[in-house]
């Protein structure tokens, strides 16, 4: 499959076969790394890592993934370059595109990562924006595949803020790959009708379902329950309001009992605020799976760079 030169901005841009290819390539790269085998597909390549928002997993995953494959990553924090301040995003993109072979962006606006892709002329990878977090979904799906052996036909329930970047991206990815997907959230935090309609179109093609509800009984039959922090970065002022609204949706043993399944796993993109969106007890019960998921950020991000930029 030829993905060379492609940017990775949202999973909307990729076919089910292409998304599956990224996941399979990541599994292969992970197995090789466990045997001490790394590659050199990024030899001679320089990669810019732009971070408007701080990060643990995304930064480490891009850095190690790039070095493992022989490339050079250069971290550019918000105080290191003029992106959108003294220099327009378009001009910064044209400068970086002449010096670097690929660009990662983690920040606020989806519009910024799209402009970087449009004007730089090199592959650009979305490390998170307010709208989408596509590299995280690849890690989530690799983890689910490791747990269950397949993806198609699984039931995934996302609990919490149903209109954040994680809910959006999980809905896109699940509907493309035939995973039955439920968002369990208070009505005020449901995703936009437009995105739901788009994903229902994908689900029709893949033979899966999309269901948005505020009824806790909807977790019945879930193979995986997924949650995220109740306040995304930049929304700290809404904390009290969110806690009041989302407390009934805490992931705990009572909610897990409603699945009526013994095999259900818990996923979280991290960092977790234990005692809020998930109890410490439940988090620790599934910590092995959650930290597999965190490690899988590196293998899947490496796969994206190798597929789109590697030789």
> Which residues are tagged catalytic?
106, 133, 136, 228, 269, 297
Does the annotation flag 98 for ligand binding?
Answer: no
Tokens (6 digits) for 27: 């599994």
Closest CA to 70 of 100, 37, 40: 40
Annotated ligand binding at 199? The verdict is no
Sorted by sequence, the CB contacts under 8 Å of residue 287 that are 6+ apart come out as none
Beta strands in the chain (DSSP E): 46-51, 72-77, 102-106, 124-128, 155-159, 180-184, 210-213, 224-227, 265-268
Instruction: Select from 114, 105, 45 the least CA-distant residue to 78.
Output: 105
133 labelled ligand-binding: yes
**Is 165 labelled as part of a ligand binding site?**
yes
Q: Is 175 annotated as a binding residue?
A: no
269 is in an annotated binding site: yes
228 is in an annotated binding site: yes
Distance, in Å, from the CA atom of 72 to the CA atom of 76, rounded to the nearest integer, reads 13
Nearest partner of 227 among 176, 272, 195, judged by Cα? 272
Answer yes or no: is 135 a known binding residue: yes
- d(C-alpha 279, C-alpha 253), whole Å: 8
Q: Which residues of 159-196 are buried (b: 16+ CB within 10 A; e: fewer)?
A: bbbbebbbbbbbbbbbbbbbbbbbbbbeeebbbeeebb
Q: Is 82 within any annotated ligand binding site? A: yes
- The answer to whether 297 is a known ligand-binding residue is yes
**CA separation for the pair 261, 157 (Å, rounded):** 13
3-class secondary-structure state, position 104 = strand
Please indicate if the annotation marks 250 as binding a ligand: no
Q: Which two tokens stand for residue 153?
A: 């036909």
The Cα 1–Cα 19 span in angstroms is 11
- The answer to whether the annotation marks 232 as part of a ligand binding site is yes
21 and 307 Cβ atoms separated by less than 8 Å: yes
Is 134 assigned a ligand-binding role in the annotation? Answer: yes
Residues marked as binding?
55-58, 82, 106, 133-136, 165, 228, 232-233, 269-270, 297
Residues marked as binding for L-ornithine?
165, 228, 232-233
Residues marked as binding for carbamoyl phosphate?
55-58, 82, 106, 133-136, 269-270, 297
């Amino acid at each position: 499959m030829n993905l060379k030169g492609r940017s990775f901005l949202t999973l909307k841009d990729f076919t089910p076969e292409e998304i599956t290819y990224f996941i399979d390539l990541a599994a292969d790269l992970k197995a090789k790394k466990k045997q001490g085998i790394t590659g050199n597909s990024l030899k001679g390549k320089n990669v810019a890592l732009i971070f408007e928002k701080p990060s643990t997993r995304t930064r480490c995953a891009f850095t190690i993934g790039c070095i493992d494959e022989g490339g050079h990553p250069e971290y550019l924090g918000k105080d290191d370059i003029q992106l959108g301040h003294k220099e327009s995003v378009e001009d910064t993109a044209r400068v970086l595109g002449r010096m670097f072979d690929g660009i990662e962006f983690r920040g606020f606006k989806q519009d910024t990562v799209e402009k970087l892709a449009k004007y730089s002329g090199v592959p650009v990878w979305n490390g998170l924006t307010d709208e989408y977090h596509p590299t995280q979904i690849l890690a989530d799906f690799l983890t689910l595949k490791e747990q269950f052996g397949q993806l198609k036909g699984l039931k995934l329930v996302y609990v919490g803020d149903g209109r954040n970047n994680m809910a959006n991206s999980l809905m896109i990815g699940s509907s493309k790959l035939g995973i039955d997907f439920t968002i369990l959230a208070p009505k005020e935090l449901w995703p936009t009708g437009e995105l739901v309609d788009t994903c229902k179109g994908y689900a029709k093609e893949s033979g899966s379902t999309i269901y948005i509800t505020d009824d806790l009984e909807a977790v019945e039959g879930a193979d995986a329950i997924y949650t995220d922090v109740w306040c995304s970065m930049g929304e700290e002022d809404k904390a009290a309001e969110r806690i009041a609204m989302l407390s009934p949706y805490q992931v705990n043993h009572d909610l897990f009992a409603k699945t009526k399944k013994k095999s259900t796993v818990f996923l979280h993109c991290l960092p977790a605020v234990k005692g809020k969106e998930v109890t410490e007890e439940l988090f620790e019960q599934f910590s092995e799976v959650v930290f597999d998921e965190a490690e899988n950020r590196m293998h899947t991000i490496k796969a994206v760079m190798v597929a789109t930029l590697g030789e």
